[in-house]
Amino acid sequence: MTTQPGVEFRSLTIPASLDAAGSDEFREFTRVRNAVYREIADNDDDAITPEELLPQYQPSSEAIRYVWAVHRGGRMIGRAGIDFPLEEGSRAGFWLVELLREHWGVGIGSAALALVERTAREHGRTVLQSWAEHPDAPGPRLAAPTGFGSIPEDHVARFYRRHGYALEQIERESRLDLQTSADTVARLLRDAEAAAAGYRVVQWQAPTPAEYVDGYAWMKSRMSTDTPMGALEFDEEVWDADRIALHDKRVLDGGRTMLVTAAQHLATGELVAFNELTIGADATAPSHQEDTLVLKEHRGHRLGQLVKCAGLTTWRRDIAPASDRVITFNAEENRPMLDINEAIGFVPSAYHGAWKKVVE
Ligand SMILES: CC(C)(COP(=O)(O)OP(=O)(O)OC[C@H]1O[C@@H](n2cnc3c(N)ncnc32)[C@H](O)[C@@H]1OP(=O)(O)O)[C@@H](O)C(=O)NCCC(=O)NCCS
């Protein structure tokens, strides 16, 4: 589809594998994705290989995904996409529009967003949400309605507001130096173990062992209900053995390693807290700390600290000794989680805005 001279949004062909026809386009798509993030963050922390990205684009029972490559003057210059979760009754659409910087400010983002929003309307989705990094800058700022955090009123913030989106939440991105934090992590692990009598740590790498599938599935489902989300709207997710298998397959097909560290309640055998650490095929790349949750009924026993510190200890010693840092994201108002991360040694490295618009 053409919107203005020389600009085209082409539906991306998802190859079955990177050896298949069409894989050159997917490789270029990945390269442009990484270049956009490098321009924004001034680092390659978010870089990913085509091999790691492709599994995320394979058709799945979790969401319908639309994705377009943005072309201008014969070159790929960005991407646009929207996901529609398949939870029953979902009203949500999660979108992104990301362009190389030299193409900002001439209406391409607005045209891409119009395509995204038209697609949402066609699917009857009315709650549109999106995230963006807002690098620190001088000048006027926008505060989150949660009361925690603010971002500069930059080009991207103006773009969202002009298109009717409101800032709902700030997410803090933080980094931990894996080597210098080792002693602190060991001390905090001992403290947590002392406070967590009645629980034990269990760990596994994807694929999830059969004995932990049900417990892990229940905890993953609570990630969609029991984390601070301001006025953002997330569907309550149903997780079962099939969904865990799909989640694990995506990790493994992308050549990634994932360590799950869980706390098990000894009296009942239930899994009640967990933490995930991942890394791609490059052993020297940054690691990522993904989901962490303590089930509501088991909060107050230092189980968050326990699973994070036990995870980081195994990670650095046995799994990713060549990775120098861990990156993680938290809601800026999530004080209990930030307290643990700050004590471990995580320091803020960037802030992201979560934006939302409700349409008729
Ligand atoms: C956010 C983003 C997609 C916006 O795209 P964009 O193409 O720069 O946006 P537009 O050009 O349509 O509109 C932005 C500005 O350009 C102006 N503009 C729009 N059409 C124009 C035209 N034809 N000529 C000149 N200026 C124009 C708009 O008035 C607007 O100005 P404002 O900042 O004063 O409000 C782009 O900056 C980007 O890729 N950012 C990084 C990724 C990101 O954060 N994405 C957010 C969603 S995931």
Mean pLDDT to the nearest integer, 116-126:
98
Pair 196, 47 in one domain: no
Residue with CA at minimum distance from ligand 1 atom 24? 106
**237 vs 213: CA distance, rounded Å:** 16
CA of 32 to the centre of ligand 1 (A): 18
Pair 104, 187 in one domain: no
**12 vs 65: CA distance, rounded Å:** 11
Pair 186, 283 in one domain: yes
Residue with CA at minimum distance from ligand 1 atom 12? 107
- How many structural domains are present in the chain? 2
Pair 8, 78 in one domain: yes
Would residue 293 count as lying in a domain? yes
Q: What is the DSSP letter of 315?
A: I
Mean pLDDT to the nearest integer, 276-289:
97
Say yes or no to pLDDT of 346 above 60: yes
Nearest ligand 1 atom to the CA of 39 is 41
Residue with CA at minimum distance from ligand 1 atom 2? 109
Would residue 55 count as lying in a domain? yes
CATH number of domain containing 78: 3.40.630.30
Pair 204, 343 in one domain: yes
Q: Is 110 in the pocket of ligand 1 (CB under 6 A)?
A: yes
Amino acid at 153: E
CA of 23 to the centre of ligand 1 (A): 29
Pair 261, 182 in one domain: yes
Q: Is 77 in the pocket of ligand 1 (CB under 6 A)?
A: no
Cα torsion 39, 41, 42, 43 to 10°: value is -110
Amino acid at 149: G
Pair 343, 205 in one domain: yes
Pair 210, 80 in one domain: no
Say yes or no to pLDDT of 21 above 90: no
**199 vs 306: CA distance, rounded Å:** 10
Kindly report, residue by residue over 67-97, the tens digit of the pLDDT: 999 999 999 999 999 999 999 999 999 999 9
Kindly report, residue by residue over 164-214, the tens digit of the pLDDT: 999 999 999 999 999 999 999 999 999 999 999 999 999 999 999 999 999
Pair 318, 213 in one domain: yes
Q: Is 41 in the pocket of ligand 1 (CB under 6 A)?
A: no
Q: ∠ CA(219), CA(81), CA(14), 5° rounding?
A: 90
Q: What is the pLDDT of residue 3?
A: 62
Would residue 157 count as lying in a domain? no
Tokens of 49: 């290989």
pTM > 0.85: yes
Distances from the Cα of 172 to the Cα of 6, 137, 201, 321, angstroms: 37, 16, 27, 25
Q: Is 272 in the pocket of ligand 1 (CB under 6 A)?
A: no
Count CB atoms within 10 A of the CB of residue 33.
19
Pair 120, 179 in one domain: no
CA of 114 to the centre of ligand 1 (A): 12
Choose one of 86, 102, 125: the last residue of a domain: 125
Cα dihedral sign, 106-109-112-116: negative
Pair 179, 120 in one domain: no
Would residue 219 count as lying in a domain? yes
Q: ∠ CA(18), CA(26), CA(117), 5° rounding?
A: 140
**Which of 40, 106, 162, 165 gets mutated to test ligand 1 (max ligand atoms within 8 A of its CB)?**
106
Say yes or no to pLDDT of 142 above 80: yes
Pair 189, 333 in one domain: yes
Mean pLDDT to the nearest integer, 107-120:
98
Q: Is 156 in the pocket of ligand 1 (CB under 6 A)?
A: yes
**265 vs 200: CA distance, rounded Å:** 7
- 35 exposed, middle or buried (CB, 10 Å; 0-12, 13-18, 19+)? middle
Nearest ligand 1 atom to the CA of 156 is 1
> What 3-state class would DSSP assign to 18?
coil
Would residue 317 count as lying in a domain? yes
Would residue 93 count as lying in a domain? yes
Would residue 146 count as lying in a domain? no
Would residue 152 count as lying in a domain? no
Say yes or no to pLDDT of 2 above 70: no
Beta-carbon contacts of residue 114 (< 8 Å; ≥ 6 apart): 3
Boundaries of domain holding 297: 175-350
